[in-house]
C-alpha cells in the first residue's frame, strides 16, 4: 500500500533502538531496533511468545526496557509513565475489551479526558469555560464516532453493541486522544469474517484521513499483508527480518520461524 499524502502536521518517526527486556533471566526482547516512518502502517509479527506484546508494552510505557531507547522525534519515551507517553500523542488499544459500561459517547469522552484543560472544580461547578470545552470535546467525539462508523450508536449503551462494534469503540476511544501514533494490539482478534473486513476498512480509512502512523501487532496475516507498509518479524525476542510484506513472507528465516505453526502467508500465525 502506498504512503498517504503527508498530513498538515506529519507525525515524527518512532525510533526503537536496541531495546532489551529481561524477565528473570528470560530475554523477552533482545536488542530490537526498527523505525516507524511517518504516516505508515508498521506491523510487528512473530510466532507465539516471540515478544510482540512485550514490545507493545515498552512502546506504551507499561514496561521499562533494561537497555535501549524509544524516541518519537526528539522526545525520549523510554522512561516516561504511560499517561505522559499518551499526552505526547501515542495512543494504544487493548486486545481484550474492557469496555462494557456507559454509552459510546461516555467512553469516547474518557478518551478526551487527557486533552481537557478545564480543571475538575471548574467542570464540577459547570463554569462557562468548562461547559464550552465540554461541548467542543463532545463534538469531536461525535466526529470520530462517525469516521469509525459508530455515529448511529453514539448514545447507545456499549453493553448492547456487538463484539465488532465494541472493538471499534475501543479504537475510537484511542483516536479521541488525537494521536500522532496509534498502537493497535490485535484489532481483529476474536472477530468473525465480516467484522474483520469492516475493521480492516476502518483502519485503512483512519490512516488515509488522519495521516497518523500505526504500529500493528496482529496474528491475522491477511490483515498484516493488506495493511502494512513495513513489517518487523520477531522470533524468540530477536528481530529476524524487516521489509515489505512481500519481502518478509519470502524470507527464509521468517519461513523457518513459522514452520511448525503456520506459513507466514497464511491466515493465522
Ligand atoms: N510479565 C512477564 N513475566 C515473565 N515472562 C514474561 C512476561 N511477559 C512475557 N513473558 C515471556 O516473554 C516472552 C515474550 O512474550 P510476549 O507475550 O511478549 O510474546 P508474544 O509474541 O506477544 O506472544 P503471543 O503471540 O502468544 O501473544 C515469552 O517467553 C513470555 O512467556
Nearest to 16 by CA among 35, 1, 31: 35
Ligand 1 centroid from CA 53, angstroms: 7
pLDDT at 203 over 90: yes
Q: What separation in angstroms does the CA of 38 have from each of 24, 155, 230?
A: 35, 34, 12
The angle that helices 128-147 and 193-210 make with each other, rounded to 10 degrees, is 120
Does the CB atom of residue 233 touch ligand 1 within 6 A?
Answer: no
Atom of ligand 1 nearest to the CA of 217: 22
Which of the four pLDDT bands, split at 50, 70 and 90, describes residue 98? low
pLDDT at 261 over 90: no
Atom of ligand 1 nearest to the CA of 54: 18
Residue ranges per structural domain of the chain: 14-89+179-258
Mean pLDDT of 191-205: 92
Does the CB atom of residue 48 touch ligand 1 within 6 A?
Answer: yes
Q: CA-based diameter of the chain, in Å? A: 64
Q: Which three cell numbers stand for residue 132?
A: 464550552
Does the CB atom of residue 51 touch ligand 1 within 6 A?
Answer: yes
Please tell me the predicted confidence (pLDDT) of residue 1: 38
Does the CB atom of residue 96 touch ligand 1 within 6 A?
Answer: no
pLDDT at 205 over 60: yes
Please tell me the predicted confidence (pLDDT) of residue 101: 84
Which of the four pLDDT bands, split at 50, 70 and 90, describes residue 96? confident
pLDDT at 36 over 70: yes
**How many percent of the chain have pLDDT more than 70?**
86
Which residue shows C-alpha cell 524516541? 71
Ligand 1 centroid from CA 158, angstroms: 30
Does the CB atom of residue 46 touch ligand 1 within 6 A?
Answer: yes
Does the CB atom of residue 197 touch ligand 1 within 6 A?
Answer: no
Does the CB atom of residue 49 touch ligand 1 within 6 A?
Answer: yes
Pocket test for ligand 1, best of 25, 26, 28 (most atoms within 8 A of CB): 28
Does the CB atom of residue 50 touch ligand 1 within 6 A?
Answer: yes
Pocket test for ligand 1, best of 20, 27, 52, 258 (most atoms within 8 A of CB): 52
Is 14-89+179-258 a CATH 3.40.50.300 domain?
yes
Question: Rounded mean pLDDT of the chain?
Answer: 87
Mean pLDDT of 243-248: 95
Pocket test for ligand 1, best of 54, 65, 66 (most atoms within 8 A of CB): 54
Report pLDDT digits (tens) over 117-176. Answer: 555 555 666 666 777 778 888 999 999 999 999 999 999 999 999 999 999 999 999 999
pLDDT at 5 over 50: no
pLDDT at 210 over 50: yes
| Nearest protein CA to atom 14 of ligand 1, as residue | 51
Atom of ligand 1 nearest to the CA of 29: 14
pLDDT at 29 over 70: yes
Nearest to 208 by CA among 13, 14, 2: 2
pLDDT at 266 over 50: no
Please tell me the predicted confidence (pLDDT) of residue 14: 97
Please tell me the predicted confidence (pLDDT) of residue 33: 98
- E-strand ranges in the chain read 14-23, 26-36, 41-45, 67-72, 75-76, 90-92, 181-185, 213-217, 230-235, 238-243
pLDDT at 2 over 60: no
Most confident of 28-42, 88-102, 196-210: 28-42
Mean pLDDT of 71-88: 93
Mean pLDDT of 59-67: 95
Does the CB atom of residue 59 touch ligand 1 within 6 A?
Answer: no
Please tell me the predicted confidence (pLDDT) of residue 127: 64
Amino acid at each position: 500500500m502506498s504512503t498517504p499524502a503527508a498530513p498538515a502536521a506529519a507525525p515524527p518517526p518512532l525510533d526503537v533502538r536496541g531495546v532489551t527486556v529481561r524477565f528473570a533471566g528470560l530475554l523477552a526482547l533482545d536488542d530490537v531496533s526498527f523505525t516507524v516512518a511517518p504516516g505508515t502502517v508498521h506491523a510487528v509479527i512473530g510466532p507465539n511468545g516471540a515478544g510482540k506484546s512485550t514490545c507493545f508494552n515498552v512502546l506504551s510505557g507499561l514496561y521499562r526496557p533494561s537497555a535501549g531507547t524509544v524516541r518519537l522525534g526528539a522526545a525520549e519515551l523510554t522512561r516516561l509513565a504511560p499517561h505522559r507517553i499518551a499526552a505526547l500523542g501515542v495512543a494504544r488499544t487493548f486486545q481484550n475489551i474492557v469496555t462494557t459500561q456507559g454509552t459510546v459517547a461516555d467512553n469516547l469522552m474518557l478518551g478526551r479526558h487527557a486533552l481537557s484543560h478545564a480543571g475538575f472544580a471548574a467542570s464540577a461547578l459547570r463554569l462557562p469555560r468548562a461547559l464550552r470545552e465540554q461541548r467542543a470535546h463532545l463534538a469531536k467525539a461525535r466526529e470520530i464516532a462517525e469516521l469509525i462508523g459508530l455515529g448511529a450508536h453514539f448514545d447507545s449503551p456499549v453493553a448492547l453493541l456487538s463484539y465488532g462494534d465494541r472493538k471499534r469503540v475501543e479504537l475510537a476511544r484511542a483516536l479521541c486522544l488525537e494521536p500522532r501514533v496509534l498502537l493497535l494490539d490485535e484489532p481483529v482478534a476474536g472477530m468473525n469474517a465480516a467484522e474483520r473486513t469492516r475493521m480492516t476498512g476502518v483502519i485503512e480509512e483512519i490512516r488515509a484521513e488522519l495521516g497518523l502512523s500505526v504500529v500493528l501487532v496482529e496474528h491475522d496475516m491477511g490483515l498484516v499483508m493488506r495493511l502494512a507498509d513495513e513489517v518487523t518479524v520477531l522470533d524468540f525476542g530477536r528481530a529476524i527480518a524487516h521489509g515489505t510484506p512481500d519481502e518478509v513472507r519470502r524470507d527464509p528465516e521468517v519461513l523457518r520461524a513459522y514452520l511448525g505453526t503456520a506459513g507466514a502467508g497464511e491466515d493465522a500465525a
